[in-house]
């Protein structure tokens, strides 16, 4: 067994990707699809390890730091499975694009996510974190359009800043704890989260929050994802935010602030998605909304909540990829992605439309789909905690989550399929996408339903399987309540649409917080230009022009001044009048100006200087 | 000739049938709730039968209305950032 588990999946992905340019045709396709298959088998074979695998020692200045590439425990294993599964589906979807840059970027990016997931030390965590940031940027650049290039530039800039926060936190953490290992398994639990109370923890929290797109740090997501290639956005939707969810759960499980940040995060993007014209931007906002549920679950901090978070991440990756794949297929076939250009495509793309509806139903958490059996756990956990706290605890969070659940049906559940495949007929000439794309969507669609029905299979690999198996998603009240919530949401949509109250599709964009670094940055630049150059001018005047002259004047006379400093008090003590004092001063200055001071005097002055220096530096 | 094909939803009859099913589902959900479902409320309000129907409806109306208001303030030309 130990021979078989020779390599960490993250490294297989990253180094495996480097071979891609050397292969061609069918061999290349087979090779790429083999990578996730091999890694999946490795992970299955490994099982849950009490002690981490793939531990390497790094010697620096006598200190030994461990590089741990294989912390495969109850929490990381399930993330590993879904990351590998989604690369397999994503690769099938992309297998015919024949763009090595995207294949390599996609695999290295996924490898980075796997590295982050299985990292047991902060050093490798940070390396893989940055690998993800850089590799994912290429999935945006690969679209090879001007807009994509600027978006990619902004994207990497934000992630570099986020990465620096993480790095600063890591450096402080290592300094405080004298180890790079974090959240090490204890005798009683695999979970050993940090407390959000020190500077290092705050910095790491912010770094992770950037990748998780927690408002107000979310601008990059809605800015960049819609600019990626149609295959790239499938990968992007899976890894960056979900690996951040994993690390957040690992490090800050039970941090109360996350309950409210998460609840806010579920509600905030709904309104923007509702009036957004670009379908992939609608999906980006809805991605934030879903990650909000996970953040809230992490904050609640019960076993049920963590199960809900992890299963929701698992389910979400599948249905969000399915949605990105189906609108990506529309973009690929028609070249259009805006609601104003689309509509009526169910006639020409019925299979894509059908699969898109499955994705939309899953994200809306209809019973019998994966979203239902995962999201309901988080909301139940919020409710449970409320009960214990005399109907007050997480009441607000619970209401916000339910509100956001209803909001999902409005913006993702109906809007995406309705305005793409139904609504007004755009008259676009379209056809079904190539078979490989349909196959990838088919697998994802099948899994969305399969997990919704055979939820026990997913529940068994969750962090707390006993708690998960004791949970009954399909109780009468659960099913009916959820159906009421959704169907009456649809009813509201229908009435508003008929009454002409629904926000019409418009060729327009809506401002969000990314304004601050897109437009605001220009204003900021002017402010900085004015501010700093102003300061520069003032300092130039004070230091360069006036002070140097003054300093030169002072330093020129230093020996004389030192002598007088000692001589004058002595003379005054021995009795001297004002006139004689002035005469002595002039005399001393003249001596030093003409360098005719007795050597002894100069030496004495130098000696005092040295003595002073030694005293100061003592 | 693909785009001149009459689709399923181009026929008013089909839409009428679907809407009828939809309304029956809505009524059915509330009726079933009142007759057969034993609620396990977490808070004081969510034990009421039909609570989630009202909540879902109100939430979606709110979402749509608020986002319309939001758009009034935040809408810009498509080439705003260029």
Quote the pLDDT of residue A272.
94
**A558, pLDDT greater than 70:** yes
Quote the pLDDT of residue A303.
93
Contact A508 B55 (CB under 8 A): no
Q: pLDDT class for A426, splitting at 50, 70, 90?
A: confident
Please answer whether residues A216 and A165 qualify as being in contact, where contact means their C-beta atoms are separated by less than 8 angstroms: no
Selected residue with higher pLDDT from A3 and A454 = A454
**A588, pLDDT greater than 90:** no
Percentage of residues in chain A having pLDDT higher than 70: 94
Q: Which of A53-62, A232-241, A558-567, A593-602 has the lowest mean pLDDT?
A: A593-602
Peptide bond into A173 cis (omega under 30): no
CB atoms within 10 A of CB B3: 14
Contact A511 B56 (CB under 8 A): no
Quote the pLDDT of residue A569.
78
**A199, pLDDT greater than 90:** yes
Selected residue with higher pLDDT from A47 and B28 = B28
CA torsion sign for A472, A475, A481, A487 is: positive
Average pLDDT, chain A: 89
Please indicate, yes or no, if residue B81 is contained in any of the structural domains.
no
Please indicate, yes or no, if residue B79 is contained in any of the structural domains.
no
Residues of chain B with pLDDT under 50: 1-3
Return phi, psi of residue A278, to 5°.
-80, 120
Please indicate, yes or no, if residue B19 is contained in any of the structural domains.
yes
pTM attached to this predicted model: 0.85
Please indicate, yes or no, if residue B82 is contained in any of the structural domains.
no
Please indicate, yes or no, if residue B51 is contained in any of the structural domains.
yes
Contacts of A337 in chain B (CB under 8 A): none
Quote the pLDDT of residue A3.
46
- Rounded to whole angstroms, how far apart are CA atoms A289 and A266? 4
- Rounded to whole angstroms, how far apart are CA atoms A484 and B26? 7
Q: pLDDT class for A61, splitting at 50, 70, 90?
A: low
Which DSSP symbol is given to B9? G
Express each pLDDT in A70-88 by its tens digit: 899 999 999 999 999 999 9
- Rounded to whole angstroms, how far apart are CA atoms B57 and B61? 6
Quote the pLDDT of residue A502.
86
Tokens of A495: 């009435």
Q: Which of A251-255, A392-396, A415-419, A424-428 has the lowest mean pLDDT?
A: A392-396
Count Cβ–Cβ pairs < 8 Å, chain A vs chain B: 165
Residues 6+ apart with CB under 8 A from A198: A172, A176
**A618, pLDDT greater than 60:** no
Mutate to test the interface with A, among B52, B54, B62, B73 (most CBs of A within 10 A): B52
Residues 6+ apart with CB under 8 A from A541: none
- Rounded to whole angstroms, how far apart are CA atoms A600 and A122? 62
Please indicate, yes or no, if residue B64 is contained in any of the structural domains.
yes
Contacts of B42 in chain A (CB under 8 A): 380, 383-384, 386-387, 398
Contact B71 A275 (CB under 8 A): yes
Averaged pLDDT, A300-328: 96
Distance from CA of A103 to the nearest CA of B (A): 30
Half-sphere exposure of A156 toward its Cβ, with a 13 Å CA cutoff?
16
Domain count, chain B: 1
- Rounded to whole angstroms, how far apart are CA atoms A321 and A237? 7
Residue A461 forms contact with B (CB below 8 Å): no
Q: Which of A34-43, A122-131, A377-386, A506-515 has the lowest mean pLDDT?
A: A377-386
Selected residue with higher pLDDT from B28 and A599 = B28
DSSP A249-270: HHHHTT-THHHHHHHHHHHHHH
**A496, pLDDT greater than 60:** yes
**A260, pLDDT greater than 50:** yes
Strands A63-70 and B75-76: unpaired
- Rounded to whole angstroms, how far apart are CA atoms A312 and A295? 11
Strands B75-76 and A53-60: unpaired
Which of A95, A82, A90 has its CA nearest to residue A43? A82
**Residue in A closest to B39 by C-alpha:** A477
Q: Which of A44-53, A190-199, A410-419, A573-582 has the lowest mean pLDDT?
A: A573-582
**Residue in A closest to B62 by C-alpha:** A407
Contacts of A506 in chain B (CB under 8 A): 75
Please indicate, yes or no, if residue B47 is contained in any of the structural domains.
yes
Please answer whether residues A479 and A492 qualify as being in contact, where contact means their C-beta atoms are separated by less than 8 angstroms: no
Please answer whether residues B52 and A481 qualify as being in contact, where contact means their C-beta atoms are separated by less than 8 angstroms: yes
Please indicate, yes or no, if residue B31 is contained in any of the structural domains.
yes
Q: Which residues span the domain enclosing B66?
A: 8-74
Selected residue with higher pLDDT from B69 and A548 = B69
Average pLDDT, chain B: 86
Averaged pLDDT, A303-330: 96
**Residue in B closest to A348 by C-alpha:** B2
Which of A110, A19, A9 has its CA nearest to residue A53? A9
Quote the pLDDT of residue B82.
78
Return phi, psi of residue A70, to 5°.
-135, 55
Which of A203, A187, A196 has its CA nearest to residue A122? A203
Q: Which residue has the tokens 């309304």?
A: B23
Q: What angle do CA A371, A372, A374 make, to 5 degrees?
A: 70
**Residue in A closest to B55 by C-alpha:** A485
Percentage of residues in chain A having pLDDT higher than 90: 66
- Rounded to whole angstroms, how far apart are CA atoms A399 and A385? 13
Please answer whether residues A295 and A261 qualify as being in contact, where contact means their C-beta atoms are separated by less than 8 angstroms: yes
CB atoms within 10 A of CB A576: 14
Quote the pLDDT of residue A601.
64
Q: For residues A406-422, b (16+ Cβ closer than 10 Å) or e, as one string?
A: bbbbbbbbbbbbbbbbb
Averaged pLDDT, A179-203: 91
Q: pLDDT class for A182, splitting at 50, 70, 90?
A: very high
Quote the pLDDT of residue B3.
46
Which DSSP symbol is given to A1? -
- Rounded to whole angstroms, how far apart are CA atoms A525 and A416? 38
Contact A503 B68 (CB under 8 A): yes
- Rounded to whole angstroms, how far apart are CA atoms B64 and A494? 11
**Residue in A closest to B72 by C-alpha:** A510
- Rounded to whole angstroms, how far apart are CA atoms A108 and A99? 14
Three-state SS sequence of A315-340:
HHHHHHHHHHHHHHHHHHHHCCCECC
Half-sphere exposure of A152 toward its Cβ, with a 13 Å CA cutoff?
21
Residue A381 forms contact with B (CB below 8 Å): no
Express each pLDDT in A151-163 by its tens digit: 999 999 999 999 9
Return phi, psi of residue A144, to 5°.
55, 45
Please answer whether residues A485 and B56 qualify as being in contact, where contact means their C-beta atoms are separated by less than 8 angstroms: yes
**A329, pLDDT greater than 50:** yes
């Amino acid at each position: 067994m130990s021979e078989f588990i020779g390599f960490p999946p993250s490294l297989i992905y990253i180094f495996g990707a480097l071979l891609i340019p050397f292969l061609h045709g069918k061999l290349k396709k087979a090779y790429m699809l083999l990578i996730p298959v091999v890694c999946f088998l490795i992970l299955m074979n490994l099982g849950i390890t009490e002690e981490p695998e793939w531990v390497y020692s790094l010697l620096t200045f006598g200190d030994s730091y461990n590089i741990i590439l294989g912390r495969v425990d109850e929490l990381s294993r399930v993330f590993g499975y879904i990351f590998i599964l989604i690369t397999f589906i994503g690769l099938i979807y992309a297998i015919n694009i024949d763009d090595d840059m995207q294949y390599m970027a996609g695999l290295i990016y996924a490898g980075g996510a796997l590295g982050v997931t299985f990292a047991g030390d902060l050093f490798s965590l940070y390396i893989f974190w940055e690998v993800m940031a850089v590799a994912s940027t290429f999935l945006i650049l690969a679209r090879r359009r001007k807009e994509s290039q600027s978006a990619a530039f902004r994207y990497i800039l934000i992630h570099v800043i986020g990465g620096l926060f993480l790095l600063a936190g890591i450096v402080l953490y290592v300094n405080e704890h004298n180890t790079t290992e974090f959240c090490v398994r204890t005798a009683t639990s695999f979970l050993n989260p940090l407390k959000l109370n020190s500077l290092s923890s705050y910095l790491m929290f912010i770094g992770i929050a950037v990748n998780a797109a927690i408002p107000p740090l979310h601008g990059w997501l809605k800015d960049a994802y819609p600019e990626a290639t149609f295959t790239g956005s499938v990968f992007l939707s899976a890894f960056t935010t979900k690996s951040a969810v994993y690390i957040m759960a690992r490090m800050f499980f039970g941090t109360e602030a996350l309950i409210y940040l998460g609840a806010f995060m579920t509600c905030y993007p709904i309104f923007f998605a509702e009036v957004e014209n670009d379908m992939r931007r609608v999906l980006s906002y809805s991605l934030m909304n879903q990650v909000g549920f996970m953040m809230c679950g992490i904050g609640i901090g019960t076993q049920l909540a963590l199960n809900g978070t992890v299963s929701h991440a698992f389910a979400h990756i599948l249905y969000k990829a399915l949605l990105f794949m189906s609108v990506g297929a529309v973009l690929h076939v028609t070249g259009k992605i805006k609601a104003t250009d689309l509509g009526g495509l169910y006639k020409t793309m019925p299979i894509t439309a059908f699969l898109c509806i499955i994705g939309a139903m899953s994200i809306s958490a209809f019973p019998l789909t994966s979203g239902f059996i995962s999201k309901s756990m988080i909301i139940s956990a919020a409710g449970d905690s409320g009960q214990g706290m005399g109907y007050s605890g997480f009441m607000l969070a619970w209401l916000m989550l339910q509100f956001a659940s209803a909001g999902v049906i409005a913006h993702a559940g109906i809007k995406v399929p309705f305005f793409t495949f139904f609504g007004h007929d755009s008259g676009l000439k379209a056809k079904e996408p190539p078979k490989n794309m349909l196959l990838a969507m088919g697998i994802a669609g099948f899994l969305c339903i399969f997990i919704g029905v055979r939820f026990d299979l997913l529940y068994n690999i969750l962090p707390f399987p006993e708690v998960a198996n004791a949970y009954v998603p399909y109780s009468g009240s659960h099913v009916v309540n959820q159906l009421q919530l959704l169907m009456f949401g649809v009813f509201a949509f229908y009435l508003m649409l008929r009454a002409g109250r629904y926000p019409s599709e418009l060729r327009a964009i809506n401002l969000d917080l990314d304004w601050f670094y897109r437009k605001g940055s220009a204003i900021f630049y002017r402010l900085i230009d004015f501010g700093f150059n102003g300061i520069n001018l003032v300092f130039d005047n004070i230091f360069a022009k006036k002070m140097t002259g003054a300093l030169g004047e002072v330093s020129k006379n230093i020996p004389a001044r030192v002598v007088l400093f000692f001589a004058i008090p002595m003379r005054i003590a021995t009795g001297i009048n004002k006139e004689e004092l002035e005469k002595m001063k002039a005399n001393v200055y003249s001596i030093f100006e003409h360098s005719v001071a007795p050597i002894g005097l100069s030496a004495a002055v130098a000696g005092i200087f040295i003595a002073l220096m030694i005293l100061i530096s003592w | 000739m693909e785009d001149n094909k009459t689709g399923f939803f181009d026929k008013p009859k089909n839409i009428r049938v679907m809407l009828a099913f939809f309304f029956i589902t809505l009524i059915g959900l509330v009726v079933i709730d009142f007759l057969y479902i034993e609620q396990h409320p977490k808070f004081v309000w969510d034990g009421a039968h039909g609570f989630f129907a009202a909540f879902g409806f109100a939430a979606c109306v709110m979402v749509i209305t608020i986002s319309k208001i939001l758009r009034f303030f935040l809408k810009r030309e498509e080439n705003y950032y260029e």
